[in-house]
Amino acid sequence: MTDSNAPKAPFHDPNAEAEAQKYENPVASRDALLALLEQLGHPATHAEVCEALGETDEDRVEALRRRLIAMSRDGQLISNRRSQFAPLRKVDLVTGVVMGHRDGYGFVLRDGADDVYLSNRQMSKVFHGDRVAVQILGLDRRGRPEGKIVEVLERNTQQIVGRYFDQSGVGVVQPDNKRVAQEILIPPVGRKGAEHGQFVVVQIVEQPKPGGLPMGEVVEVLGDHLAPGMEIDVAIRSHNIPHEWPEAVLVKPKNCQNKSKIKTNTTASTCVSCLLSPSTVKTPKTSTMPSAANLTAKPVAGVYTLPLPMYPITYRQVRHWMLKLTVVATRCISLSLWYRCCRKNCPTVYAR
């Protein structure tokens, strides 16, 4: 039989000499702590690690606690709610894309598995759309898996569209995307002439981190709130839709017949103004419906198309016809309700 009170064999640290040269009172190195936790086979607390190493001195115990916290911060260890430490490679991690919520919390979307819930505190580390590695801590009050962000694998948010506000001399941008709950701080140097309440495009300079808001600088001022066409500009930039022509497209062709300064694609033999002849393009004042002779189908690249004239439509015209359609729909609904009311009150008159 073995004596349980027998002294334990001292733990061998392969980096003991290197640690002794760096520190006056060295403790177990990081490699030694990783090997110790792997030998234990289960997450261990700070007290259990000190007991396994035989540490009793207060200074060395405190130094060992700080080292465990530093290893957890650097991603070498994982700590749970019970203040237990375990090697990162021994913990089951899940990866996915973050989906934010307007109330501040979020989820990690996984393929073929339940989404992992992220608290408001965890969401303060990332943006909506970032790819992260998450440790599942357990279940929340609703029975959903709850996780903790271990590492941000991809930062997919580099620009954000929002409204600029000047709050007591501090510039803040509130994102237009409701899934991004963090506000972006704008230093005075990065304001670039933005006024209070205007829509701007912000380049992220510092990504979000625990205990601090992300920082950015204004790269484009879109304009005032509720300006005509502002919702279109905001939507284009929010969804990263290409809206700027490349330099190769903005070069005038050499054999352009039109002398006006029109910039088009260099690969085209003629510019757009030359292709749109007066016979096919009419102004809105003189434009008429195409005749039957003009509606003859012509094969173009194997496809039969109709050479219909082009009618430029403005925003005011679209809004005018939308209002007319709304009035017509409202009248139809009113007539329908009036007819039903009459049939209900006077069944003999409207009986079939």
Of the candidates 117, 125, 121, which has an alpha carbon nearest to the alpha carbon of residue 99?
117
Query: Is-same-fold flag (92-154; 159-238)?
Result: yes
Pick the CATH number of 159-238 from 3.10.129.10, 3.40.1000.10, 2.40.50.700, 1.10.3720.10: 2.40.50.700
Start-to-end CA distance of the chain, whole Å, equals 104
C-alpha angle 255/257/260, rounded to 5°? 110
Of the candidates 44, 38, 39, 80, which has an alpha carbon nearest to the alpha carbon of residue 64?
44
Q: Which of 118-127, 279-288, 293-302, 339-348 has the highest mean pLDDT?
A: 118-127
Q: Is the dihedral of CA 52, 54, 60, 62 positive or negative?
A: positive
CB atoms within 10 A of CB 194: 23
Alpha-carbon gap, residue 66 to 26, rounded angstroms: 12
The domains of the chain are located at: 16-89, 92-154, 159-238, 245-284
Q: Please tell me the predicted confidence (pLDDT) of residue 117.
A: 92
Alpha-carbon gap, residue 110 to 264, rounded angstroms: 45
Which segment of 219-233, 263-277, 329-343 scores lowest on mean pLDDT? 263-277
Strand-pairing partners, residue 149, are 134
Instruction: Indicate the CATH number for domain 92-154.
Output: 2.40.50.140
Given pLDDT bands bounded at 50, 70 and 90, which one contains residue 99? very high
What would be the CATH architecture of the domain defined by 16-89?
Answer: Orthogonal Bundle (1.10)
Tens of pLDDT, residue by residue over 55-96, are 888 888 888 888 888 888 776 787 777 788 888 765 567 889
Which segment of 56-60, 123-127, 337-341 scores lowest on mean pLDDT? 337-341
Tens of pLDDT, residue by residue over 148-195, are 888 888 888 899 999 999 888 889 999 988 899 889 999 988 888 888
Alpha-carbon gap, residue 55 to 129, rounded angstroms: 45
